[in-house]
Structure 1
Amino acid sequence: AYLMYGFPTQTEQETIDSLEMVRQMFAAGVLQSAFWHLFTMTMHSPIGMQPEKFKVKKQSALVGAFANNDLVHVDETGADHEVFAFGLKKSLFNYMHGIGLTDPLQKWFEFKVPKTTIAPDYIQKILEQEMYTSPKPTARIVYLGKPPIAEHFTKSKKGSSWEMTSLTFQDKRAKFSISVPRAQGDWLVEMLKALSITNTKILTLQDVMDSYAAAGLDDFELLWDNKPVNTLHKVGLLKL
């Protein structure tokens, strides 16, 4: 994820609250990699053309050469953004390695910072709400995680038996497994490859439904909108 801080008028509190939401997204498995960038005013951006609307001042009116149009500016109402750089980058480096996800945010800074105003389960509640929404067919579906390990097994009950697939997802912190009927499991393995964020083409929910039907499978909603598949947001399956 491309993260930015230091927007005009952004306060210390808003910076810390942003970090808290990033921490929660890493803890929930929504993010695996990210980098903080300090906001830079550019000549042809709305802020660069009308800085007074955003309560900042340009220190120079000089226009840079091609692809060099950054402008030095002063934010008189916001925080001293530069002092947060080291702490933000240090926290992110640790989060990407699964370290310090439950530690207080103060740990990453050598100066006193305000306590976050974000509820500790803010992101988790949003993810749980997502489970019960019905996205439009045009919704984009992406998968941020690694390919799961698939294993087939036979399940028996009351004299009947059927083939199942176990999918195990591994990240830097823990393993997460689900089991689905074998045909759906084989389809899901291939679909997650197609949905990978590394692919240039982004698929929609309609594309996913069409693929499911083309595989000769029935009851897409029964699989996609219910457990265990609708819990895969924990490993990075997202609806945008």
Structure 2
Amino acid sequence: DVRVFEFFDYITLDDGELPIELLAQHVCSGEDPASGTFKRTLLLGNGGVVYKNNSTKPDYKQTEVGTPDYSDLRLDEYISVIEIANPMHSLWSDGRWNKLTMAHGCYWKKCAFCDVSLDYIKLYDPNAAKVLVDRMETLIAQTGETGFHFVDEAAPPALMKALALEILKRKLTLTWWANVRFEKNFTQDLCYLLKASGCIAVSGGLEVASDRLLALIDKGVTVEQVARVTRNFTKANIMVHSYLMYGFPTQTVQETVDSLEMVRQLFQEGVVQSGFWHQFALTAHSPVGLNPAYYGITPILRDITFANNDVDFTDQTGIDHSQFSFGLKKSLFNFMHGLGFELPLQDWFEFKIPKTKIKSNYIVTCLLTDTYFSVQPSAKIVWLGVMPLVREQSKTRKGKSWQTLQLTFHHKSDSFQVSVEKDKGEWLLNVLPSLSTSRNKLRNYGELKADFETRFDNFEMFWYSKPIQKLKDFGLLSV
């Protein structure tokens, strides 16, 4: 639509570094746009809108884009407009966050509603953790602000772990949050590590809260898995915000009601603290948009005016999903404030809805039946605490005497004690410094096991003993 160019001279698409660099060169040169070199740029020409993408230069890799420079901006003079009702919206509106990206694109790139066919999603290019923390230190020095928002489509768990370890290694004091997928790699120990590095919140998509629809979306998660992962984040004092969706193709009224019940239980159990419902929107470049018949919809194609992005469609179910909007949002507003859990779901709607088929203790059951987590040999072992005070003791039972070590550890707000056999205690005291995040190279579980078993038998029995389990509660992590 040529009318938009009454307000803009150029529009660039997707990654901005190279298009804007070429655009700046073009404007400064004063050359005719017809002969200019551009990257993914829309402009006026020949009496209409022209799309020019005639540059052969590739986009910059993430390692090449450099650190943002805000030195010419008066950052302290910007106002904050705070959203009070939604905890996550309040977080990202309250003050200024330095913006960074862990990785270009999405490592999952399968979700049916997402524009996975476009380069900004499908071309995955992660940064190195050291590069990211270098940029964080530069921005702190430049802006005086220590808060960071990673704006990834979905931050990779492995890179988040590496980032956290690098932050802890450099002993930086900062806060950060990111968008994630609620996948099983976010173990309890990893969440504790992220929290120790300054992570205060995550946002991720539960979407339709229905296992059938999550499989159709190819989300790669189940409601049960999301419940456990959000519990792991919450136990680590990391706030969880969930993106919620209704009206996905083939979704029935019953599934919408059941999704609301899942959401009600997640908030009631306290594993999700913030959320936002949005109605499914069909985009031209998503798997649904590219193969609508598979998802049971018929796009309503019109002449392109401003942009060919959101596409109207009819769903074979014939359901008017917009009728659920007010009730879903009203109930969620109450759940976020700890209210209305006891009310029948019918009370949130002014029209008749079916009763939910979800058991009232479904989420509780998911949280109680956690799968056993075995430590992989390659898992890094990290000790976030300090060295203990040591006291040797002698114990006697049934005429037999042996020596033990009583180890007193001082935590942030309290202290705790563990007692171990003297020889194994000495081994532990020798090992703990090598597990500090300040080390250049951390030891893994396999290495610890091999070391232990040069002197003793059965490392697993020692690793899962009560004293070591207590250490795990206070910062002995396997990540």
Aligned equivalent of 1:129: 369
Q: In the alignment, does 2:422 pair up with 1:181? A: no
Aligned equivalent of 2:328: 88
Q: In the alignment, does 2:248 pair up with 1:7? A: yes
Aligned equivalents of 1:225, 1:27: Cα separation in 2: 33
Counterpart of 2:267 in structure 1: which amino acid?
F
**Moved beyond 3 Å, runs of 4+:** 61-66, 131-139, 162-167, 219-227
Q: In the alignment, does 2:287 pair up with 1:46? A: yes
- Counterparts of residues 161-240 of structure 1 (less than 5 Å): 181=416, 221=464
Aligned equivalents of 1:27, 1:137: Cα separation in 2: 37
Instruction: Report the CA distance shift for 1:118/1:41 in structure 2 as closer, same or farther (over 3 A).
Output: same
Deviation at 1:80, TM superposition (A): 1.7
Deviation at 1:79, TM superposition (A): 2.6
- The answer (yes or no) to whether the contact 1:20–1:118 under 8 Å persists in 2 is yes
Q: In the alignment, does 2:281 pair up with 1:56? A: no
Aligned equivalent of 1:216: none
Aligned equivalent of 1:18: 259
Aligned equivalents of 1:102, 1:224: Cα separation in 2: 41
Aligned equivalents of 2:314, 2:370: Cα separation in 1: 40
Q: In the alignment, does 2:359 pair up with 1:119? A: yes
Deviation at 1:128, TM superposition (A): 0.7
Instruction: Report the CA distance shift for 1:80/1:138 in structure 2 as closer, same or farther (over 3 A).
Output: farther
State the identity %: 47
Tell me the TM-score normalized by structure 2. Answer: 0.31
Instruction: Report the CA distance shift for 1:109/1:223 in structure 2 as closer, same or farther (over 3 A).
Output: farther
Tell me the TM-score normalized by structure 1. Answer: 0.58
- The answer (yes or no) to whether the contact 1:8–1:78 under 8 Å persists in 2 is no
Considering only CA atoms, is the larger Rg found in Structure 1 or Structure 2?
Answer: 2
Query: Number of residues paired by the alignment?
Result: 170
> Which deviates more, 30-39 or 123-132?
123-132
Instruction: Report the CA distance shift for 1:225/1:120 in structure 2 as closer, same or farther (over 3 A).
Output: farther
Gaps of 5+ in 1: 140-159, 168-178, 184-206, 214-218, 231-240
Instruction: Report the CA distance shift for 1:46/1:138 in structure 2 as closer, same or farther (over 3 A).
Output: farther
Q: Which structure exhibits the higher relative contact order, with contacts defined as CA atoms closer than 8 Å and separated by 6 or more residues?
A: 1
- The answer (yes or no) to whether the contact 2:463–2:469 under 8 Å persists in 1 is no
Gaps of 5+ in 2: 1-241, 380-405, 419-441, 449-461, 474-479
Aligned equivalents of 1:220, 1:69: Cα separation in 2: 54
Question: Which of 52, 63, 71 is the aligned partner of 2:311?
Answer: 71
Aligned equivalents of 1:41, 1:83: Cα separation in 2: 18
Instruction: Report the CA distance shift for 1:11/1:63 in structure 2 as closer, same or farther (over 3 A).
Output: same
Instruction: Report the CA distance shift for 1:65/1:95 in structure 2 as closer, same or farther (over 3 A).
Output: same
- The answer (yes or no) to whether the contact 2:327–2:348 under 8 Å persists in 1 is yes
Aligned equivalent of 2:205: none
Deviation at 1:69, TM superposition (A): 0.3
Aligned equivalents of 1:35, 1:102: Cα separation in 2: 21
